[in-house]
């Protein structure tokens, strides 16, 4: 294994990390704040992907000149659509189920099946390919044999920006302060005059919006189908549990670890074995640290 | 209690009279029903496999419609009973049982994945029914009650490997989805590669539905094969070709041959991502034979100009005609007699002349290699001629 390959493989791990972290952050925020296990998170990702597809189709037909820029509008639209959907979902369904994790599990699973069928009705059961804009095609050469795909560089940058944005929102804004206050102690936050139900609604919608962005990025790598989100949902849950639910840093770190692990094993053995070994490690770690790698110590 | 008036008496008797007329009408339609023969069509219309499988029905329905328009089989019109296997193997078994025991169908055209066929197999064998199976598969099976109308593994992989080794290069990278068909195919591929003087520089399997091929693409960069032989199926293909194209690998020096991508899947992958990739099938829409031109025209007329045909659709269409010919040869709808009459039976269909093997229930088929063009159609590069089916190869 030459050093070129090593670099490319490390980058590959990094790019696997990106979509995973976008998905897992949303899940983790929703669970940490509201105790909602959102089984429909995968479908929100698919919704983001379809929103990107619709944007691409609109640009192709009405603004062919600006087609190369559609992806930015696609990402924004994906965020808006999933954000609004999340807000509606929270107001109509989730609100009634706070702190009843098992019920939210079932209810959101129902939502997941419902949205899958909705996608089938609207877009058909077949996979759709979202055309990649020309400047994202191909690879960039970094000297020697190091070629890194441009679309993955784009996704990595996008994920870094979004993660940083999430950090800013949570730790540098009034909204973030309120979210953190409600997460830590809902009763006290209420007493201090924070409208916790508004905070809940906004936060849940925001976590859905993150899944939408993940879906938009996803279209650059693979095809969009009604069940596209399922693949990532399981992995994202593993990441959240592995990192310790309720810890955002844990989520970021564990998605980084898991994707690098996966990339290394995939290089050394066949893909199926790599996945099995990765799951084996996760199980072993959770056996010794049941609340995850980076769990914050809390008294219950 | 209502009074019994003369008027209501009249009404009742009129109603009774009407009822007796309906009974007569029903009796008549039953008598007419004897002029039809029932066949079962059993595929997934819903669920994950429906993406690929739902279109197969269109091939079967088209053949049935054409046969009915030209007078039916032994003077009887074919009545298709369509059942949904729902991408679920126990459902396939249940529906097959219903078709055979309750509807008493003369034959079933059905199944797509090997797993669904394996679920249906004991049921057709027990009821002494007849199943026509239209998908290319791994071989290693020969049920007395199943007729196989697509390629088994040796009919596609052996000629492909030999052609690649002779024309494109001798170092092979094998990549596939992780289940029985890709693994069996590669089990046959490996000794064939060795016999042709080639080497296998890598072999990789990924779970069905896997979507990140970055690592394997790096492995390909490191091992520099001349040929990538892909047995990836379904949605994973989209991710694989998109990422391969973006990877910066110079594809001029690497040939990719896909054993499980037909024209139909191209719309999902995106023609721009798969342009230049080779594919091996028994049938392509672009075959110039007049019989195929006619078939494609009829298919598009029935289902829409933007639809494409493909290998499985053609095999399913062929299956219905082979059944018709066998029934006419046997002068009976009895499955045993139809199966016996099928030996060596020939049909000149969309893929050219094909005929059943004398004993092993599989078809002598062509192996064709083609290259995907920018419009998603295939330019044919190689045609092996008819190849004898050999479902139990010695390797």
pLDDT in tens, B88-113: 899 999 999 999 999 999 999 999 98
Residue A244, min C-alpha distance to chain B (Å): 25
User: Are the C-beta atoms of residues B280 and B70 closer than 8 Å to each other?
Assistant: no
Q: What was the pLDDT predicted at B1?
A: 40
pLDDT in tens, A17-74: 888 899 999 888 888 777 888 899 999 999 999 999 999 999 988 988 888 889 999 9
User: Are the C-beta atoms of residues B89 and B116 closer than 8 Å to each other?
Assistant: yes
pLDDT at B23 > cutoff 70: no
Average model confidence (pLDDT) for chain A?
Answer: 87
Please state, as a whole number, how many other Cβ atoms lie within 10 Å of the Cβ of residue A144.
10
Supply the DSSP symbol for B335.
H
CA dihedral (A179, A182, A183, A188) positive or negative: positive
Question: Which residues, 6+ apart, have CB-to-CB distance to B343 below 8 Å?
Answer: B356, B357, B358, B359
Please give, one letter per residue, the 3-state secondary structure of chain A.
CCHHHHHHHHHHHHHHHHHHHHHHHHHHHHHHHHCCCCCCHHHHHHHHHHHHHHHHHHHHHHCHHHHHHHHHHHHHHHHHHHHHHHHHHHHHCHHHHCCCHHHHHHHHHHHHHHHHHHHHHHHCCCCECCCCCHHHCCEEECCCCCEEEHHHHHHHHHHHHHHHHHHHHHHHCHHHHHHHHHHHCHHHHHHCCCCHHHHHHHHHHHHHHHHHHHHHHHCCCCCECCCHHHHHHHHHHHHHHHHCCCCHHHHHHHHHHHHHHHHHHHHHCCHHHHHHHHHHHHHHHHHHCCCCCCCCCCCC
The structure tokens listed for A146 are 């190091």
Categorize the per-residue pLDDT at B21 as very low, low, confident or very high, splitting at 50, 70 and 90.
Answer: very low
Please give the Cα distance from B328 to A134 (Å, whole number). 57
Instruction: List B386's β-bridge partners, or say none.
Output: B366
The structure tokens listed for B293 are 């031109």
The bridge status of strand B36-43 relative to strand B108-110 is parallel
Q: Is B242 on the interface with A (CB under 8 A)?
A: yes
Mean pLDDT along residues B155-168: 95
Task: Please choose, from the candidates B202, B200, B226, the residue with its C-alpha nearest in 3D space to the C-alpha of residue B215.
Answer: B202
Q: What was the pLDDT predicted at A299?
A: 54
C-alpha atoms less than 13 angstroms from C-alpha of B195 in its C-beta half-sphere: 11
Q: Is B24 on the interface with A (CB under 8 A)?
A: no
Q: What was the pLDDT predicted at B379?
A: 96
User: Are the C-beta atoms of residues A148 and A203 closer than 8 Å to each other?
Assistant: no
Please give the Cα distance from B124 to B106 (Å, whole number). 11
User: B269: nearest CA in chain A?
Assistant: A129
Which chain B residues touch A227 with a CB distance below 8 Å? 48
User: Are the C-beta atoms of residues A244 and A294 closer than 8 Å to each other?
Assistant: yes
pLDDT in tens, B45-74: 877 777 778 889 999 999 999 999 999 999
Helix (H, G, I), strand (E, B) or coil at B133: strand
Q: Is B346 on the interface with A (CB under 8 A)?
A: no
Which chain A residues touch B204 with a CB distance below 8 Å? 270-271
pLDDT in tens, B298-357: 999 999 998 999 999 999 999 999 999 999 999 999 999 999 999 999 999 999 999 999
Cβ B246–A1 below 8 Å, yes or no? no
Average model confidence (pLDDT) for chain B?
Answer: 88
Residue A221, min C-alpha distance to chain B (Å): 6
Please give the Cα distance from B62 to B316 (Å, whole number). 10
Categorize the per-residue pLDDT at A296 as very low, low, confident or very high, splitting at 50, 70 and 90.
Answer: low
The radius of gyration of chain A from alpha carbons, rounded to an integer in Å, stands at 19
Please give the Cα distance from B47 to A32 (Å, whole number). 34
Q: How far apart are the first and last CA of chain A?
A: 50
Please name the residues between 80 and 139 in chain B that touch chain A, using a CB distance below 8 Å.
none
Mean pLDDT along residues A281-285: 91
Q: What was the pLDDT predicted at B30?
A: 43
Task: Kindly report the pTM of this predicted structure.
Answer: 0.82
Categorize the per-residue pLDDT at A86 as very low, low, confident or very high, splitting at 50, 70 and 90.
Answer: very high
User: Are the C-beta atoms of residues B299 and B309 closer than 8 Å to each other?
Assistant: yes
Task: Please choose, from the candidates B287, B185, B182, B286, the residue with its C-alpha nearest in 3D space to the C-alpha of residue B234.
Answer: B182
CA B390 to chain CA mean position, Å: 18
Of A131, A149, A227, the CB nearest to B48: A227
Q: What was the pLDDT predicted at A12?
A: 86
pLDDT in tens, B284-295: 999 999 999 999
Helix (H, G, I), strand (E, B) or coil at B348: strand
The structure tokens listed for A208 are 């859905």
Q: What was the pLDDT predicted at B16?
A: 43
CA A120 to chain CA mean position, Å: 22
User: Are the C-beta atoms of residues B285 and B378 closer than 8 Å to each other?
Assistant: yes
Q: What was the pLDDT predicted at A131?
A: 80
Q: Is B38 on the interface with A (CB under 8 A)?
A: no
Categorize the per-residue pLDDT at B8 as very low, low, confident or very high, splitting at 50, 70 and 90.
Answer: very low
Report which of residues A141 and B81 the model is more confident about: B81
User: Are the C-beta atoms of residues A66 and A76 closer than 8 Å to each other?
Assistant: no
C-alpha atoms less than 13 angstroms from C-alpha of B98 in its C-beta half-sphere: 14
pLDDT in tens, A113-161: 999 989 988 988 777 888 878 888 778 888 777 888 888 899 999 999 9
Please give the ipTM for the structure prediction: 0.80
User: Are the C-beta atoms of residues A208 and A82 closer than 8 Å to each other?
Assistant: yes
Residue A224, min C-alpha distance to chain B (Å): 9
Which residues in A have their CB inside 8 Å of a CB on B?
Answer: 1-2, 5, 8-9, 12, 15-16, 125-129, 131-132, 136-141, 145, 147-152, 220-223, 225, 227-228, 231, 262-263, 266-267, 270-272, 274-275
Q: Is B289 on the interface with A (CB under 8 A)?
A: no
DSSP-assigned states of every residue in B183-200: HHHHHHHHHHHHHTT-EE
pLDDT in tens, A40-54: 999 999 999 999 999
């Amino acid at each position: 294994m030459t050093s070129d390959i090593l670099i490319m493989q490390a980058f590959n791990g990094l790019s696997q990390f990106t979509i995973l972290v976008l998905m897992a952050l949303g899940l983790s925020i929703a669970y940490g704040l509201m105790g909602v296990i959102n089984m429909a998170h995968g479908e929100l990702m698919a919704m983001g992907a379809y929103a990107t597809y619709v944007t691409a189709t609109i640009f192709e037909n009405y603004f062919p000149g600006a087609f190369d820029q559609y992806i930015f509008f696609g990402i924004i639209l994906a965020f808006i659509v999933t954000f609004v959907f999340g807000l509606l979902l929270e107001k109509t369904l989730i609100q009634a189920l706070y702190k009843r994790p098992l019920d939210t599990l079932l209810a959101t699973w129902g939502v997941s099946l419902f949205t899958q069928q909705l996608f089938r009705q609207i877009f058909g059961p077949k996979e759709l390919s979202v055309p990649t804009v020309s400047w994202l095609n191909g690879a960039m050469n970094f000297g020697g044999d190091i070629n890194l795909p441009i679309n993955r560089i784009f996704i990595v940058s996008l994920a870094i920006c979004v993660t940083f944005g999430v950090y800013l929102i949570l730790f540098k804004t009034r909204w973030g302060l309120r979210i953190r206050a409600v997460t830590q102690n809902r009763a006290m936050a209420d007493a201090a005059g924070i409208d916790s139900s508004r905070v809940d609604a906004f936060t849940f919608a925001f976590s859905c919006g993150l899944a939408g962005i993940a879906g938009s990025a996803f279209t650059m790598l693979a095809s969009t189908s009604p069940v596209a989100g399922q693949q990532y949902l399981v992995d994202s849950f593993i990441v959240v549990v592995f990192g310790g639910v309720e810890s955002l840093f844990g989520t970021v770190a564990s998605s980084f670890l898991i994707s690098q692990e996966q990339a290394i094993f995939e290089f050394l053995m066949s893909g199926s074995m790599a996945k099995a070994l990765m799951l084996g490690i996760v199980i072993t770690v959770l056996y010794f640290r049941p609340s995850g790698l980076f769990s914050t110590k809390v008294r219950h | 209690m209502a009074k019994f008036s003369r008027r209501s008496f009249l009404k009742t008797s009129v109603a009774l009279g009407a009822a007796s007329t309906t009974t007569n009408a029903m009796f008549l339609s039953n008598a007419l029903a004897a002029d039809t023969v029932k066949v079962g069509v059993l595929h997934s219309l819903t669920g994950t496999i429906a993406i690929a499988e739902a279109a197969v029905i269109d091939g079967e329905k088209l053949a049935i419609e054409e046969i009915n328009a030209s007078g039916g089989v032994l003077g009887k019109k074919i009545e298709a009973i369509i059942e949904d296997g729902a991408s679920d193997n126990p459902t396939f078994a249940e529906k097959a049982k219903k078709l055979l025991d309750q509807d008493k169908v003369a034959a079933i055209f059905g199944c797509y994945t090997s797993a669904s066929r394996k679920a249906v197999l004991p049921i057709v064998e027990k009821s002494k029914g007849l199943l026509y199976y239209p998908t290319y598969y791994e071989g290693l099976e020969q049920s007395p009650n199943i007729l196989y109308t697509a390629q088994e593994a040796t009919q596609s992989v052996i000629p492909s490997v030999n052609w690649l080794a002779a024309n494109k290069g001798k170092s092979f990278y094998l990549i596939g989805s992780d289940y029985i068909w890709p693994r069996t195919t590669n089990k046959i591929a490996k000794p064939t590669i060795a016999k042709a003087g080639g080497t296998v520089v890598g072999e990789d399997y990924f779970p069905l539905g896997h979507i990140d091929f970055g690592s394997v693409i790096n492995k390909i960069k490191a091992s520099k094969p001349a040929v990538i032989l892909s047995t990836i199926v379904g949605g994973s293909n989209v991710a694989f070709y998109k990422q391969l194209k973006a990877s910066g690998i110079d594809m001029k020096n690497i040939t990719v041959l896909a054993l499980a991508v037909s024209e139909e899947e191209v719309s999902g992958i995106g023609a721009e991502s798969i342009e230049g990739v080779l594919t091996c099938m028994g049938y392509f829409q672009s075959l110039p034979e007049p019989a195929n031109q006619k078939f494609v025209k009829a298919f598009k007329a029935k289902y829409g100009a933007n639809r494409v045909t493909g290998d499985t659709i053609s095999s399913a269409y062929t299956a219905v005609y082979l059944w018709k010919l066998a029934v006419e040869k046997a002068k009976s709808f009895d499955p045993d007699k139809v199966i016996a009459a099928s030996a060596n039976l020939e049909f000149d269909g969309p893929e050219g002349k094909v005929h059943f093997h004398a004993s092993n229930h599989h078809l002598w088929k062509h192996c064709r290699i083609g290259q995907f063009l920018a419009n998603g159609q295939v330019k044919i590069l190689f045609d092996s001629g008819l190849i004898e089916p050999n479902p139990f190869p010695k390797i």
